[in-house]
Chain A
Amino acid sequence: MARLSRRAFLRIAVLAGLGVSVAALERVSRPVGLGNYLRWTTRGELERIAGRPAVIALGECPTYADDLAGRLASLWHQAEMPDVTGKRVLVKPNLIDVIEGYPTTTAPEVVGAVLDVLTGLGASEIVVGEGSGFRREAEPVVESCGLAAELARRHVSFVDLNYDDPRPVPVEDGWFRHATNIWLPRHVREADLVVSVPKLKVHHWAGVSLSLKNLFGILPGCRYGWPKNMLHVNGIAMSVLGLYRLAQPVVSVMDGVVGMEGDGPLFGTPVPHGLLAVSADPVAVDTLCARLMGFDPNKIQYLWLAAWAGVGQAKRLDVRGGDVARFSRTYQPPPS
């Protein structure tokens, strides 16, 4: 029997190693596809190593009776938010449903204050919009949560994104695996800027419901139904990031004055947190807020995925507004 030379052995070993690596790569990338996997991994590494730090401005606000507009204007400036002069802006609060006794929705006072800030900064057209996941018609939610009065006072329109003349938009970046297009409402398609104004909440499926999860409300129910099961079938984490990519540019103003812990997003318990957070990078602000709620962002699937795939900045955070520790709480996680 011929003896294997050292050189031949090394060749075989290298080829075997390559084969194992390719097989492993194929296996690990199978759920998202090899192309997406390589692109996201590379982008994520670049973001971690050389990405621009994301600025987040934190502010204390013990009650909704405070000067919210004044505080938010200051935070908006500190967070180096984009210029809105002459822009069409869609303000997207979380109005998933109104359930008596539970702080399910973004406080109307915070939405009103955001409108004041945007008006003061010269936005040319501002509308507030939501496509509730648990109501066929948004108007009763807008009325009963108190937002209608805030809008009427400022002569700002509300648009029900569930019925807002949806049109198909090509999927970007591979986040919707079984669709080439996603139908989006007119005011999302035509906005120069989307301001996500979520309520700081825990969420029984997503872990937390913050700026990015709030974007589930831009999917039109008249196409996808209620409560937008397609996003769950596609996977919550993938859908969260997919909608973010489609709706860009998206910035965030977080209502953490009163948060929600426990059985969120509907039946949780109020947490007097006293927090407002503003950032042009929703991934950054969600990552920080998850930490401030006492959760490890690496264990929140959509935040881990965003960090790994370089969708936004999750690692290099420039936090302004004082000591982060004073905003730290320990939220009760959702029941499992």
Chain B
Amino acid sequence: MNANAFAFLQQAMTADGGWGYSLDQASSVEATAAVALAAQDDLADADLERSAVAWLRAAQHADGGWGMNKDDIESIWTTGWGVLALTSTGSAEDAVARGAVWLARMPALRVTDDELQEEFRRKLAVDPNLSGWPWLPDEASWIEPTALILLALAAAPVQGIAARSAEAARFIADRRCQGGGWNFGNPVMLGGNLPPRAHPTAWALLALNRVAPDLIRSEDLAALRTEAGRDGGSSALALALLALRTLGEDDPALASRLAGRQAAGGGWDGNPYHTALALLAGRGRLL
């Protein structure tokens, strides 16, 4: 399974040495970073990792951050992917340090107005004093970028982030859905409970496991299994398995469904990003 998947990734490499979300797309930071992580495997050709690292280094902005792709001049959430991937390869300390500093300084919107805070408590059932990381600078915090960046900063050697990371872990715990798991942001909308979703739940568990494992509840894992099974998409199944296996658990039914989605050509959905996630799920750890 893995050898085929790496062969697919080899073929899916774009002319500039990165990977996109499909075979006919330009390279993106998220897909290329995921490939860089997945390529740290004995079965993978060393060219995969080398190419991914070179592409990521070339795509890094002067301010230390990354955009969505090489044409994107704004540094955004994908910087978490850039730092995570380069940290894991251990070959770009300067790039990692600059990226980590950018992440540590990435501003998130804070609600300070008393009336608005009360409205947030009432309508969204969240503690508005807690903040994590946004998708784009100066926006509200969301589960996935918060978790991704927590993981990146936990792996990168950067100083002075303990307080923000601790608050971000509390932010994730505060946003837990009723019955466990996470939606993309708030757990409630105007009194209605939002359902947990596989992707943010998997990311939240990966991050909490790294920085605050005591905050994980068994119901979160149950929610992840249920939601990944209900979603059934390759990325949901792969991320769920990656999170479960990182936490020392497994789910043969989800694993079987993920394996069943692999195409004869070795890839998942013809998508290098999904394929890299499936490989990471098979390995059972992100780093």
Contacts and interface: CB of A to CB of B under 8 A. Distances in A.
Interface of A: 99, 134-137, 139-140, 143, 163, 165-168, 183, 204, 222-227, 229-230, 232-233, 263, 266-267, 334-335
Contacts of B184: 134, 226-227
B54 interface: no
Interface in B227-285: 230-236, 269
A168 B74 CA distance: 11
A140 B22 CA distance: 18
A223 B232 CA distance: 24
Closest 7 CB pairs of A and B: A225-B135, A137-B233, A163-B21, A136-B199, A267-B192, A165-B25, A223-B68
A229 B195 CA distance: 19
Nearest to A265: B189
B20 to A, nearest CB: 7
B235 A134 contact: no
21 contacts: A137-B199, A137-B236, A167-B71, A168-B72, A183-B68, A225-B135, A225-B136, A226-B142, A227-B184, A229-B134, A229-B136, A229-B140, A230-B139, A233-B138, A233-B140, A263-B191, A266-B189, A267-B189, A267-B192, A335-B190, A335-B191
B199 A165 contact: no
B233 A222 contact: no
B28 interface: yes
A233 B136 CA distance: 11
B215 to A, nearest CB: 22
Interface string B97-140: 00000000000010000000000000000000000001110111
A143 B232 contact: yes
A225 B30 contact: no
A204 B189 contact: yes
A233 B197 CA distance: 23
B189 A135 contact: no
Contacts of A143: 232
B89 to A, nearest CB: 23
B232 A136 contact: no
A222 B76 CA distance: 11
B142 A229 contact: yes
Given A204-B190, A222-B30, A135 B197 contact: yes
A143 B234 CA distance: 13
Given A263-B189, A335-B191, 20 more contacts: A134-B184, A136-B197, A136-B235, A137-B234, A140-B231, A140-B232, A140-B233, A163-B21, A165-B21, A166-B68, A167-B71, A222-B28, A222-B30, A222-B68, A226-B135, A226-B144, A230-B136, A230-B139, A266-B189, A334-B190
B71 A168 contact: yes
A6 to B, nearest CB: 51
B87 interface: no
A332 B145 CA distance: 36
A168 B199 CA distance: 27
B7 interface: no
B24, B231, B234, B235 — most chain A CB neighbours (10 Å): B231
A227 B109 CA distance: 16
Nearest to A227: B184
B144 A225 contact: yes
A266 B30 CA distance: 29
